[in-house]
């Protein structure tokens, strides 16, 4: 094979592989995603599940990531039909939504369903809910939902 073909093959495999360790898949050039459609967890167990797998429970505050994750969820019927945790909660102070790393989560549309969060101090964790086109709503932290972990590609 020519040197050019070999170079193209190398570049292609690097893009496709995304350097994501299993069970992760490439989300984009720099990030990996692991959606676990088999076991539902409460919020804290989902946080721990992602940590065990070297990642962080789904947390984002930009529309590009929302769109990528949305397309990923919607690409299969069985994943489109599920509810997924967001790594944000307002348990420490009602109404102050923070990600696991302590940064503030975005509020309002387009992340949250219009009018959400609206359920007060018994609903302190956020999910992407399939009934609401996977916009965020507040949810009881002790309920169960599915996990999506993100990590950087290596
Ligand atoms: Ca709350």
pLDDT digits (tens, 9 = 90+) for 113-142: 999 999 999 999 999 999 999 999 999 999
Question: Residue 144 and residue 119: Cα distance in Å, rounded?
Answer: 17
Distance 138 CA to ligand 1 centre (A): 7
What is the model's pLDDT at position 132?
97
Distance 99 CA to ligand 1 centre (A): 14
What is the per-residue pLDDT across 78-91, written as a single tens digit (0 to 9) for each?
999 999 999 999 99
Distance 96 CA to ligand 1 centre (A): 8
Distance 94 CA to ligand 1 centre (A): 5
Query: What's the average model confidence in pLDDT over 23-39?
Result: 96
In degrees and rounded to multiples of 5, residue 128 shows phi and psi of -95, 115
Taking a 5 Å cut-off on Cβ, the residues next to ion ligand 1 are 90, 124
Distance 142 CA to ligand 1 centre (A): 13
Q: Which fold has domain 3-152?
A: Mannose-Binding Protein A; Chain A (3.10.100)
Distance 22 CA to ligand 1 centre (A): 35
For residue 18, name the pLDDT band (cuts at 50, 70, 90).
low
Distance 45 CA to ligand 1 centre (A): 19
| Residue from 42, 50, 21, 53 nearest 143 by CA | 42
Distance 121 CA to ligand 1 centre (A): 4
Distance 140 CA to ligand 1 centre (A): 9
CB atoms near residue 150 (< 10 Å)? 20
The separation between CA 66 and the C-alpha centre of its own chain, rounded to angstroms, equals: 8
- Domains of the chain, by residue range, sit at 3-152
pLDDT for residue 2 is more than 60: no
Output the six-digit token pair for 73: 């969820």
CA dihedral 78, 79, 81, 83 (to 10 degrees): 150
């Amino acid at each position: 094979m020519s040197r050019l073909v070999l170079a193209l093959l190398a570049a292609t495999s690097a893009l496709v592989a995304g350097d994501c360790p299993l069970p992760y898949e490439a989300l984009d050039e720099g990030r990996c995603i692991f959606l676990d459609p088999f076991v539902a967890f409460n919020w804290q167990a989902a946080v721990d599940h992602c940590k065990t797998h070297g990642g962080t429970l789904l947390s984002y505050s930009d529309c590009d990531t929302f769109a990528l994750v949305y397309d990923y969820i919607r690409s299969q019927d069985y994943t489109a039909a599920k509810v997924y945790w967001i790594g944000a909660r307002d348990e420490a102070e009602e109404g102050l939504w923070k990600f696991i790393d302590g940064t503030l989560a975005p509020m309002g549309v387009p992340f949250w369903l219009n009018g959400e969060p609206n359920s007060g101090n018994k609903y302190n964790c956020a999910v992407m809910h399939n009934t609401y086109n996977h916009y965020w709503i507040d949810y009881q932290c002790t309920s169960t939902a599915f996990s999506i972990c993100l990590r950087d590609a290596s």
